[in-house]
Amino acid sequence: MPIFISVIEVIILSVPALLTVAYVTIAERKTMASMQRRLGPNLVGYYGLLQAFADALKLLLKEYVSPTQANLVLFFLGPIITLIFSLLGFSVIPYGPGLAILDFDLGILYILAVSSLSTYGILLAGGSANSKYAFLGSLRSTAQLISYELILSSAILLVVLLSGSLSLTVNTEMQKAIWYLVPLFPIFIIFFIGCIAETNRAPFDLAEAESELVSGFMTEHSAVIFVFFFLAEYASIVLICILTSIFFLGGYNLNYTSLIYLIKEIDLYLNDPYYFDPYYYDPYLYDPSLYVTILNIPFNEDRTLFSDPLIEGITYSLTLGFKACVMIFVFIWARASLPRIRYDQLMSFCWTILLPLVIAFIILLPCILYGFEIIPTNVSLL
């Protein structure tokens, strides 16, 4: 019975993740079409919403052609490894308080380990294809991923220094007062640049440079095996955007008090003629629960907005999803706006600019925390 429950949990998590990946591809094509004054996919389904499924069906029905003199075992194993390790990261994501398949104290280390292992799939696929383009693409991609993983792990270390825990849930709960985006804004910029390079996205998609390497490490792959690489790439994008939301944007946290203030201000702006009077006194300014009572909004004594756990869980998940969608849009925006740089510029940017900056912050932040005596303590270890 526990095995059956585990299988059901994996299915419940994997199917929405794959559907999200499918619709992220549509969102990317429609957004880039709008930025480039084109229509984009608009024929298959309403407003082109079924275009991703039509593309997947086309690839599944294609005849698979394997290159001669290739190591077929490693050739097939590479894309499978990449896809599996891209999806394994979703198992520790907290979609709400307690809403995670695997919520343990070393979730950040698990994420770093899983993201590192996906590099082996790229290396195996490119090295076993018996093609110079695929081999060069796999070497480029491996060097790029290893280099920028150092940037990502160092930036995550600074987040851990503020939260005092390696748990994703603890990091999210620690941001109820203020998002880490505010005190760690330079680290957020560095982390986001590293995320773009880590997912092989433009302008850092040197491993898939069409003008130089045809299609990089997946040049010889086609049909179903190519779908694995395609899904792995976009699953990594979705996962890294969710992690960015958790580390810097508060994760599933929604500041209900700020929401109530916003509702109050909108209502006063629309209905109160004395709203712009500087001497006007608002009796509900310091007690939003009174105003919530007037608006008939269920506001509990523990300052949560919803009394129904199901509605509250859905609200938490939608909050995290909205923040992740904003980050995905920024990914697409960067691809549509910035030109591709040279590979030597990519590696030089990592080792001579980003890495010294991160090391400087790693030295500076503990000094600030120690100087003001605000070094966090992990409560779970007490």
The domain spans of the chain are: 17-59, 62-250+308-381, 256-294
pLDDT at 211: 58
What does the pLDDT read at residue 291? Answer: 46
Note the pLDDT of residue 361: 92
Task: List pLDDT tens digits, range 313-334.
Answer: 788 888 888 999 999 999 999 8
Q: What pLDDT is attached to residue 190?
A: 92
Q: Give pLDDT, residue 1.
A: 65
Q: What are phi and psi of 277, to 5 degrees?
A: -75, 120
d(CA 26, CA 33): 10
Decide if 121 contacts 63 (C-beta within 8 A): no
pLDDT for res 282: 52
**C-alpha pair distances (Å), 307 with each of 157, 160, 259, 287, 356:** 36, 32, 16, 20, 48
CB burial of residue 349 (10 Å; 0-12, 13-18, 19+): middle
Output the pLDDT for position 161: 87
- Mean pLDDT per segment of 10 residues, for the chain of length 382 residues? 76 83 88 87 83 85 78 83 87 84 84 85 82 80 84 90 86 86 90 88 72 68 81 89 91 67 60 53 49 47 56 82 91 87 84 91 88 70 42
pLDDT in tens, 222-248: 778 888 888 888 888 999 999 999 999
**Amino acid identity at 174:** M
**Which residues fall within 8 angstroms of residue 358, CB to CB, at 6 or more apart?**
151, 154, 155, 158, 187, 190
- pTM equals 0.83
What confidence score (pLDDT) does residue 268 get? 61
What is the pLDDT, as a whole number, of residue 55? Answer: 84
